Amino acid sequence: MAERQTGRHRRPPEEQATYREVFAVGEFRALWLAQALSFVGDQLAQVALAVLVYDHTKSALLTAVVYALTYLPPIVGGPVLSGLADLFPRRTVMIVCDVLRAGLVAFMALVAMPVGVLSALVFVTVLLGTPFTAARAAVLPDVLEGDRYVAGTAINNITHQGTQMLGFLAGGAVVAAVGTHGALGLDALTFGASALILVGGLRRRAPSVRRERDALRLWRGTRDGVRLVFGDPVLRSLVLFAWLCAFYVVPEGLAAPYAATFEDSDERAVTVGLLLSAMPTGMVVGAFLFSRFVRPANRLHAMGWMSMLACLPLVGAGAHPPLWGVVALWALSGVGSAYQLAANAAFVAAVPASGRGRAFGLAQSGILAGQGLGILVGGAAAQLLGPETVVALAGALGLSAAAMLTLVWNRLRGTVVAGSRDRTDPLVVAAPPSGGDELSGVSGSAPAP
């Protein structure tokens, strides 16, 4: 648990933090700027991959397979590698991961290679993002406390979705101007810049646990993380709420074939960018309204119905609306996905500092793996049913899952709220005695915490 702050930084649990107050923390500014740069580069790469693969193959399945490579690596090693964030200084983990990713992406930009080799390098690059994300998620509660953490998470989400929105809109034009390899080169530069910012802006902290001989057995840490999260009904419900994004991320993986139903190939890049920007735009609006105008305890009450709102609009795709209608529906889904802010706050309040890397890594890996599998299955189904029908089915399935989770959550919510009122620590909410950063994630890329 983060150390309490005293003096003018201390605040009652229900008092809402301001964005200005969050940005006044120098370490947060460094974390925010480093991640924002990486977000921008990643959006350029994603647009280039989606357009390039579909234009060459005309296959929704192959497009989804390549796109899913930005999500699937956590299935292989995510929960294991995330334990590095507890065994080594988290600042060091983030910097090393950034340097390695910069080198790999630069190699892809400079050397011509077969698609299979390129896909393997993409896989490794994304896999290195798992310990980075776990380390960043674990260190954020040490940098921000109480509702400042919620406000900081909202800023991160708004930044993530904002860069997606702008990156996807401008991505087609940028890729057309600099080419695919040029876009990869820009992505490599953003990783390098992120490492430099973290070197200068984030202070050193000791590892949360001692590196004893058996502590290096990362599989044991993975098992402990699973027990920690799934052994408690509240944490289990919160992480399942986070994993709902596997349903409402499906439209993102089908944007290119969906765009083909509206426009000729000459205009497809613009339409793909417009569709990909719809959900991030909604998420920006939802995260701002949810964090600024809903009080901390009330966010827990709204979480269930907002999770259903994240899925319900997608059902409308089955009616084959025009382009403007699709954009509006996807944006409304993005608004609903802002419920992830409440899940973030509740989750981080309950996870001990020594286990943050494992717990957050498990949650993030599940998010990324679920998104990757959702996109992959959606792409395969779109080959037979068409992208509109598959998006509608994903929305219906997600709505059903969200409704069941909400029924369970309504029985647990009172205990969580009561626990938060009994605490003197200025954290937003707390788990009950029987019993989590960044679970958020629409897209993205990993989702981005």
Burial label for 66, CB within 10 Å (0-12, 13-18, 19+), is: buried
Question: Please, what are the domains in the chain?
Answer: 24-203 (1.20.1250.20), 215-418 (1.20.1250.20)
Cα–Cα dist 29/425, whole Å? 24
Using only the alpha carbons of the chain, give its radius of gyration: 21
What integer pLDDT is reported at residue 399 of this predicted model? 95
Burial label for 340, CB within 10 Å (0-12, 13-18, 19+), is: buried
Q: Which of 124, 130, 121 is nearest to 80 (CA)?
A: 130
Cα–Cα separations (whole angstroms), residue 294 to 18, 69, 135, 148, 418: 13, 36, 29, 14, 18
Residue type at position 236: R
Q: Which of 94, 104, 126, 127 is nearest to 196 (CA)?
A: 94
What integer pLDDT is reported at residue 9 of this predicted model? 43
* Per-position pLDDT tens, the chain of length 449: 334 444 344 444 456 677 788 888 888 899 888 888 877 777 776 766 666 666 666 676 666 776 666 666 666 665 566 667 667 888 888 899 899 989 988 887 788 776 667 777 777 887 887 788 778 877 888 888 777 887 887 787 777 767 766 766 676 677 767 777 777 788 888 889 999 999 988 888 766 554 444 444 545 555 666 776 777 777 888 888 988 988 998 998 888 788 888 865 556 667 877 887 788 888 888 888 887 788 777 888 888 889 999 999 999 999 999 988 999 999 999 999 988 887 777 777 766 666 666 677 677 777 777 877 888 888 889 888 989 999 999 999 999 999 999 998 888 776 655 555 444 333 333 333 233 333 333 344 333 33
What integer pLDDT is reported at residue 68 of this predicted model? 67
Phi and psi at 129, nearest 5°, equal -70, -20
Q: Which of 366, 339, 357 is nearest to 437 (CA)?
A: 357
* Total-model pTM: 0.62
Q: Which of 210, 236, 227 is nearest to 436 (CA)?
A: 236
